[in-house]
Amino acid sequence: MLKVKGLHAGYSPVPVLHDINIEVGPGEAVAVVGANGAGKTALVRTLSGLVRPMAGSIVKDGVEIGHVPGHRRFEHGIAVVLENRNLFGELSVRDNLRLAEQAGRRARGGAMRFTHDEVCELFPLLRERGSGQVGLLSGGQQQMVAIARALLLQPDLLIMDELTTGLAPRIVKEILAVLNRLRERGLSIVLVEQSVAIAAEMTDRAYVLSVGRVIHEVRRGEWQALLNDKTLVKAYLHG
């Protein structure tokens, strides 16, 4: 699925990420956790094609994509929900989704993993507010639009940056329930998240990032051990 090996990246000429090695398998949910300033956003921007690698490789399904620009990563089955969501605020919910659906259909040669009706079933609000301007929605509602739009690009890998930041607990619970349903459908997920509790609830395993380096890997069944390691949590996760 996705293999990141020896990745160095950042904002030229200064690298932010150093020798990053990450793997995500088919149907797997993996977290990248770390405190503010750990390099999480730089990693998301690099995986999404907004930042070019300085060294190392990003391989998706056996194809090196480090050189592929951000606006074409979805052609390789990758969709990204950025922290700022990057929606068309002046357009309606329906138009935001329609544009993504058209792009996804072209990229997949007409094969649709997710349809408009399906994402509206996941998030009923999308149909209720279909004609409403996205810029007037609440943060939680916009996050639902952003996730739905990403799904309509027909990915098999969904990358999300700080999914729960600033959202009400009720909205977080609703979104996590949807993500669990997507996992059941075999969608691979990378959750880049500061909240260790959210990451532990949602993912199989994790990489702990600090000062641009992976300093710890949480393997399957080891989440509780991480949560109990107060020294690690305090030092690297501000928990």
Residue-level pLDDT at 238 = 61
Confirm whether 221 is domain-assigned: yes
In a domain, 86, yes or no: no
14 within a domain of the structure (yes/no): yes
Which band of pLDDT confidence, cut at 50, 70 and 90, is reported for residue 186?
A: very high
Taking alpha carbons only, the member of 98, 100, 192, 88 closest to residue 155 is 100
Residue 131 lies in a domain: no
State pLDDT tens for residues 131-175: 999 999 999 999 999 999 999 999 999 999 988 888 889 999 999
Which CATH number goes with the domain that contains 23?
Answer: 3.40.50.300
Q: Averaging pLDDT over each range in 80-84, 154-158, 191-195, 233-237, which range is the top one?
A: 154-158
Q: What is the pLDDT of residue 222?
A: 85
- The mean pLDDT value of the chain amounts to 91
Using CA atoms, how far residue 89 sits from 15, 28, 100, 161, in Å, is 33, 32, 14, 19
Task: Identify the weakest region by mean pLDDT among 153-157, 201-205, 233-237.
Answer: 233-237
**239 pLDDT more than 60:** no
Mean pLDDT, residues 184-195 taken together: 92
**Does the residue 138 lie in any domain?**
no
pLDDT at position 110: 60
* pTM confidence score: 0.92
The pLDDT score that the predictor gives to residue 107 is 79
State how far the Cα of 52 lies from the Cα of 142, in Å rounded to an integer. 28
212 assigned to some structural domain? yes
> b/e string for 95-125 if b means 16 or more Cβ within 10 A?
ebbbebbebbbebbeeeebbebeebbebbeb
Residue 227: pLDDT above 70? yes
Summarised one tens digit per residue, pLDDT across range 51-109 is 999 999 999 999 999 999 999 999 999 999 988 888 988 899 999 999 999 999 887 76
177 in a structural domain:
no
Task: Describe the crossing of helices 139-152 and 169-184 by its angle, rounded to 10 degrees.
Answer: 10
* Residues present in the chain in total: 239
Q: What is the 3-state secondary structure (H, E, C) of the chain?
A: CEEEEEEEEEECCEEEEEEEEEEECCCCEEEEECCCCCCHHHHHHHHCCCCCEEEEEEEECCEECCCCCHHHHHHHCEEEECCCCCCCCCCEHHHHHHHHHHHHHHHCCCCCCCCHHHHHHHCCHHHHCCCCEHHHCCHHHHHHHHHHHHHHCCCCEEEEECCCCCCCHHHHHHHHHHHHHHHHCCCEEEEEECCHHHHHHHCCEEEEEECCEEEEEECCCCHHHHHHCHHHHHHHCCC
Inside any domain, residue 60: yes
Q: Looking at the 3D structure of the chain, how many domains does it have? A: 1
Range of the domain at 239: 1-71+196-239
Query: How many other C-beta atoms are found inside a 10 Å radius of the C-beta of residue 31?
Result: 25
pLDDT at position 166, please? 85
